[in-house]
Amino acid sequence: MILVTGANGQIGQVLTKRLRQLHGADNVLASDITKLDNYTEKFEFLDILNKHRLNEVIGDHKITQVYHLAAILSASGEWNPKKTWNVNLNGLLTMLTLAVDHKLEKVFFPSTIAVFGNTTPRINTPQHVPLLPETVYGMSKATGENWCNYFNKRYDLDVRSLRYPGIIGYQSLPGGGTTDYAVEIFYAALRGEEYTCFLNEDTRLPMMYMADALRGTTDLMEAPKESIQIRSSYNLAAMSFSPIEITREIQKHIPDFKVKFEPDFRQEIASSWTESIDDSFARSHWGWNHEYDLEKMVKDMLENVTI
């Protein structure tokens, strides 16, 4: 049985469905601190900070693999740094410890481009760079990567991880991140409204379409153990664009669409991240490749977002 934590989130909702298609609905258990309305599939309430309950869920459901998505993202994280550290880092440590105790086959941990900081090379950011993140979210994920590597080396835990860029999809809404504008902008465009972007027009960030993120995740988890040579977290890339570049791409389909730029505290976070990522290790070690660029992603979003 596969356990997904944080399954109500932007990625969790879509990844859980995908895992159910791949492994059968009865073999995937969704969990989160709240339940989505009208949710009828297998679900357990689970606060990742409740070790006793997590231990029970893993034992009772005979869990063999975990996709540990539960976290507080970059922008929300800054409102409560200690809680963010606790959920993101201590939650992960509990999960890794129980994974060893229960001899789980595999654990997936999503890291992020937020592990990079102002001292990181901004263009084509290499896999191995000093990590000095500016947000507590980035700090918790960078430290989490190290713990994953440690648990692999020390306890032979098969833990695998990706540094996701900003994820864009039509199936679910983002929750408290700095890259959320790249999803919100489609809803404004399709409603015929002007969009107020909280980043500067020229802030380029690495992004990825949900379909690619899902495939990258399942391919990583299915890859032979020997091919996973990086046990902290793999750089992963697809496209990079700025708010003005995505605006122009949407305007090719909706010429009247207008955007104004009113940067808020999230601008400082975005400015500390990198512009583009070198993901050649992911490509050579386990065959990663992306399918969606900016043009293809925008077209698909405009066809599929429901307002």
By CB under 6 A, name the binding residues for ligand NAD: 5-6, 8-12, 32-33, 46-49, 69-73, 87, 110, 112, 164, 166-167, 174-177, 179
Least spacing, CB of residue 176 vs ligand NAD, in Å: 6
Any contact of residue 7 with ligand AKB (CB under 6 A)?
no
Any contact of residue 92 with ligand AKB (CB under 6 A)?
no
Chosen from ligand AKB, ligand NAD, none, partner binding at 48 (C-beta under 5 to 8 Å by type): ligand NAD
Sign of CA dihedral 75, 76, 80, 82: negative
Least spacing, CB of residue 235 vs ligand NAD, in Å: 12
Q: Is residue 73 within 8 Å of 141, Cβ to Cβ?
A: no
How far is Cα 246 from Cα 263, in angstroms, rounded to an integer? 16
Between 112 and 274, name the residue whose CB sits nearer to ligand AKB.
112
81: its two tokens: 């740094």
Least spacing, CB of residue 86 vs ligand NAD, in Å: 8
Q: Is residue 129 within 8 Å of 116, Cβ to Cβ?
A: yes
CA triple 30-207-69, angle to 5 deg: 20
Least spacing, CB of residue 20 vs ligand AKB, in Å: 24
How far is Cα 67 from Cα 290, in angstroms, rounded to an integer? 21
Q: Which residues are catalytic?
A: 137
Least spacing, CB of residue 240 vs ligand NAD, in Å: 14
Least spacing, CB of residue 224 vs ligand NAD, in Å: 24
303: its two tokens: 């066809």
Between 63 and 211, name the residue whose CB sits nearer to ligand AKB.
211
- Pick from 13, 31, 112, 235 the residue near ligand AKB by CB under 6 A: 112
Neighbour tally for 19: CB within 10 Å: 24
Between 138 and 254, name the residue whose CB sits nearer to ligand NAD.
138
Between 38 and 226, name the residue whose CB sits nearer to ligand NAD.
38
Q: Is residue 265 within 8 Å of 305, Cβ to Cβ?
A: no
Any contact of residue 177 with ligand AKB (CB under 6 A)?
yes
Q: Is residue 113 within 8 Å of 205, Cβ to Cβ?
A: yes
Cβ contacts of 258-261, under 8 Å, gap ≥ 24: 258/194, 258/195, 259/185, 259/188, 259/194, 259/195, 259/196, 259/197, 259/201, 260/194, 260/195, 260/196, 260/197, 261/196, 261/197, 261/199, 261/200, 261/201
Chosen from ligand AKB, ligand NAD, none, partner binding at 8 (C-beta under 5 to 8 Å by type): ligand NAD
Q: Is residue 219 within 8 Å of 286, Cβ to Cβ?
A: yes
Chosen from ligand AKB, ligand NAD, none, partner binding at 133 (C-beta under 5 to 8 Å by type): none
Chosen from ligand AKB, ligand NAD, none, partner binding at 206 (C-beta under 5 to 8 Å by type): none
Of 140, 115, 138, 110, residue with least CA distance to 126:
115
Any contact of residue 73 with ligand AKB (CB under 6 A)?
yes
Residues of this chain that interact with ligand AKB (CB under 6 A) are: 73-74, 112-114, 137, 166, 177-179
